[in-house]
Structure 1
């Protein structure tokens, strides 16, 4: 599997010398995370199904379909060959292809489980052996859909719920190796993918995209949708030495939207 963009050696910063893998790292939240890690001195390899042309400068891009075991294996092999090892894994790739009644989702269950849950399981299995000697950190990107299970997103919520449970169990297994594992549970963040999601929701349920955006913002106590940088800053902290006593946690980042539900 070929690397499609050049890799910049790590610079100075609190993550200098650290080697990071960020899936779904060419736009939106993933790209913001990759940029933060680069700015902190890490060397970064990203992946996506297609090259958006927006891979952060200095990161290496590998085209990979992580919804398949073969795609994950190929990406892992290329990342290890490129980096020479790995210290940070951010499992950010995910999403869903449809918003429908749970009774109409038969064809989407397997894909949704593959990309949102099993991709992380498979990638961790491939990369963790290279982390055991030096330790490191793994972050799984989840969703508040696991807290408030919306009927039209139940396949996505189920996959992310599995990811959160897996994340907790993995943290206990890897703690003796000095590998920390956390998940971040995200609310409504304004990204290219969220725009597509709103369009799909409106197509299925009716309404207006602008009104839906306003509704989402109005439901958030802090009064606005999240930004990719909000998430990137939190993830950067969680993989840094400043978070050295944090593992096994599921951290909700949603502007307070689900505070009354937890």
Structure 2
């Protein structure tokens, strides 16, 4: 028995949709029948049939404007916006290694693309009286790694707070806003990172994974999440099946954060 998400024909925008979690979200929505447009700084080698790709650097105001303009020109509006774009580029070394440039870069990658795209696309959603916006945050907003992710964690905390405030403003007007906070996801980037940790420690890939899990204080399910697992949660939350869910952050971390 199939589980129909009831999103066939809906217009969905996904940022950062060519790799990792973003690519899994794009594939899941497309397979469920949504019309999907996604962006990244470069186009994928193997695009998904039926998905529209736009090369744009959303860490800049110009890139966000380019994407919003293309969406409104193509569709006139949108039904689902999923902001997956994010990441950490700050060097290790704790607080002293984080320059002003690093701080602004983390905010411009992890917070401002969502703010700018929402500002551009929400008016059409409000005009039609319906829509869903999902922001992908991180458990690091409550579990930062001081050695390497302070700025990233702070930017994600800002994204969650922004999401909460936006939800209070627009949910009564028909637009649901939610956030999803994944733990460690085994994406291409995290595999590369684990391999690097393994090489430095003189161990194999599984040993590298254990090093990262130990940094996080352990993952009770014993492994990182797969991109598809997180994408399935996001697709459900974006669908009419989750019509009563709004203003909340949903954690998917294998039990890493032990508190509610």
1:119 correspondence with 2:113: yes
RMSD of aligned Cα (Å): 1.9
Number of residue equivalences? 248
- Residue aligned with 2:65, SS: helix
Q: Which residue in 2 is equivalent to 1:33?
A: 25
CA deviation map 1:112-164 (0-9, x unaligned): 10110011000100111111114110110111111111111000000000000
Q: Helix, strand or coil for the counterpart of 1:131?
A: helix
Structure 1 residues 255 and 90: alpha-carbon distance in aligned structure 2, compared to 1, 3 A threshold: same
Among 160, 175, 178, the alignment partner of 1:179 is 175
Could you tell me which residue of structure 2 aligns to residue 84 of structure 1? 76
Match of residue 144 from structure 2: 149
What is the rounded CA distance, in whole Å, between the counterparts of 2:152 and 2:253 in structure 1?
17
Normalising by structure 1, we get a TM-score of 0.89
Deviation at 1:228, TM superposition (A): 0.6
Counterparts in 2 of 1:209 and 1:142: CA distance versus 1, 3 Å: farther
Map 1:62-101 onto structure 2 (within 5 A).
Answer: 62-100=54-92, 101=94
1:61 alignment partner, SS class: strand
Q: Deviations over 1:188-245 (max 9, x none)?
A: 1111121344467679xx5357222134457211122110100110001101111111
Are 1:26 and 1:56, in contact at CA under 8 Å, matched by a contact in 2?
no
Q: Which residue of 2 aligns with 1:139?
A: 134
The question of whether the paired residues in 2 share the 8 Å contact of 1:27 and 1:55 is answered with no
Report the counterpart of residue 7 of structure 1 in structure 2.
none
- Following TM superposition, by how much is the alpha carbon of 1:54 offset from its aligned partner in structure 2, in angstroms? 3.4
Q: Could you tell me which runs of 5 or more consecutive residues in structure 1 were left unpaired when the two chains were aligned.
A: 1-11
Query: Does the Cα contact within 8 Å between 1:147 and 1:261 map onto a contact in 2?
Result: no
Equivalence for 2:248: 249
TM-score by length of 2: 0.89
Counting only pairs closer than 5 Å after superposition, residues 103-252 of structure 1 correspond to structure 2 as 103-106=96-99, 107-132=101-126, 133-151=128-146, 152-198=148-194, 206-207=200-201, 210=205, 211-216=207-212, 219-252=218-251
More divergent stretch after superposition (187-196 vs 50-59) = 50-59
Q: Which ranges in structure 2 are unaligned for 5 or more consecutive residues?
A: none
Distance 1:67 1:201 in 2: 28
